[in-house]
Amino acid sequence: MTGRPEREAAINIYDLAKHLGISSGTVSRALNDRPEVSAATRERVLEAAAKLGFSPSPLARGLARNRSQTIGVIVPTSDDPFFLSFARGVQGAFGASGYSVVLSFADAPDSIAGASRSFVASRSAGILILGGSEVTDEKIAKIVGETPVVVALRKAQHAEFSSVFVDHEGGARAMVQLLLDRGNQNIAFVSLPLTSQAAHERLRGYRSVTKGADPAWTVVARGGKPLDGVEATVELMSRPGSEQLDAIFYASDALATGGLNSLFSKGIDVPADIAVAGFGDIDSSAVTVPPLTTVRVPMHDVGYRAGSLLLEAIEEGSAMTQDIELALELIERASTRS
């Protein structure tokens, strides 16, 4: 006997939820100051937590689950602002939760699988994968085991993964239709490397509307940087029949930026001679010369929603999965207006 009073067992999030008569997910969202929780509910949860002596600790939760306080986020590259916006959204989702977001750049074959193994080995609480269709979800599932996973920018192909995605094919179709509506008849397409689901879907969207287009009017770029757009445009404009083109649709804004520079260097006026459109709506698209017409992908929202799904899966330990589609938007600027 030490003479000390016996310490009461610390309550957990489930005890707090039961006391309040609400779900543990609602309690978690209130404690993490998530916007979908009303101010009244948040105040009620915080008051009860203070009264009952509940103090959420990510470290304690992680130790109990044999997990660290880190969230593994796998993105295709480190130098594309399109993906950096996504990363900022993910960071916003975890906010004051106490988890640290760790980025891994998957810019080589099978690097997504390797990054997933590394995050599992370091006991990450969850993994978020942006794109990544070059390795199957089935393979990733075998690697990660019970670690929660959310995929972003494409629909999950595994029953245990949640996803936040957009309709790449539909967005490409809508852009080609806009170009047609502006009087353009001969529309070329510069594709991203066909190593991702998004690239394939955007190409399908273009082809579904331009079924009679000359196959020579489709060029697959070597990479996704502006320089790749320059090289692809040079190749396209050197092909027979290119003098008939009145529009070029690029599968990304980075490629389109390079394309604009290439066309300008050849004395081709955009949009008077050739209209130009991109896909993504990165920040610089509004300040290219001329400003770029594009398909807006809400990358910050994709990141935030994907991060929120992952946080919910970690906090609640639920096996339920969700697939959330976010809307795309056509943004017309001077590069297609004659």
Residue 262 pLDDT greater than 90, yes or no:
yes
For residue 233, what pLDDT band results from cuts at 50, 70 and 90? Answer: very high
Q: Quick: pLDDT tens for 316-331.
A: 776 678 999 999 999 9
Q: Can you give the pLDDT at residue 28? A: 75
Same domain for 279 and 235: yes
For residue 184, name the pLDDT band (cuts at 50, 70, 90). very high
172 is in which domain, residue-wise? 168-296
Q: Is residue 338 part of a domain?
A: no
Give 285-309 pLDDT, tens digit per residue. Answer: 999 999 999 999 999 999 999 999 9
Lowest mean pLDDT among 39-48, 84-93, 177-186, 303-312: 39-48
19 with 85, same domain?
no
What does the mean pLDDT of the chain come to?
89
| Confidence category of residue 95, pLDDT binned at 50, 70, 90 | confident
Distance of CA 104 to the CA centre of its chain: 14
pLDDT (mean) for 90-106: 89
d(C-alpha 59, C-alpha 65), whole Å: 10
Convert the pLDDT of each residue in 41-84 to its tens digit.
988 988 888 788 776 555 555 555 567 889 999 998 767 778 88
Residue 70 lies in a domain: yes
Q: Which of 11-20, 170-179, 191-200 has the highest mean pLDDT?
A: 170-179
> 318 and 271 in one domain?
no
CATH code, domain with 181: 3.40.50.2300
Cα distance between residue 298 and residue 89, in whole Å: 10
Q: Is the dihedral of CA 141, 146, 152, 155 positive or negative?
A: positive
The answer to the question of residue 4 being in a domain is: no
Residue 41, domain member (yes or no)? yes
Shared-domain flag, residues 305 and 278: no
Q: Which residue has the higher pLDDT, 5 or 98?
A: 98
Query: What pLDDT was estimated at residue 2?
Result: 41
Please count the structural domains in the chain: 3
243: Cβ–Cβ under 8 A, 6 or more apart, which residues? Answer: none
Same domain as 192, residue 48: no
Q: Looking at 43-52, 199-208, 251-260, which range is the least confident one?
A: 43-52
d(CA 316, CA 310): 10
Query: CB of 237 within 8 A of CB of 231?
Result: no
Q: Are residues 178 and 270 in the same domain?
A: yes
User: Residue 58: its pLDDT value, please?
Assistant: 55
* 102 compared with 133, residue with greater pLDDT: 102
Looking at residue 110, its pLDDT comes to 74
Question: Within the chain, where are the H helices?
Answer: 13-20, 24-31, 39-52, 58-64, 81-94, 111-121, 137-144, 168-181, 197-209, 226-238, 253-265, 299-316
Same domain for 287 and 260: yes
In this structure, is residue 332 part of a structural domain? no
CATH number of the domain to which 21 belongs? 1.10.260.40
Q: Are residues 219 and 320 in the same domain?
A: no
Are residues 77 and 150 part of one domain? yes
Same domain? 173 vs 277: yes
Do 84 and 99 share a structural domain?
yes
Residue 337 lies in a domain: no
Whether the full predicted model's pTM is greater than 0.85, yes or no, is no
pLDDT higher at 334 or 211:
334
DSSP one-letter string for 109-146: TTHHHHHHHHHHHTT-SEEEEES-TTS-HHHHHHHHTT
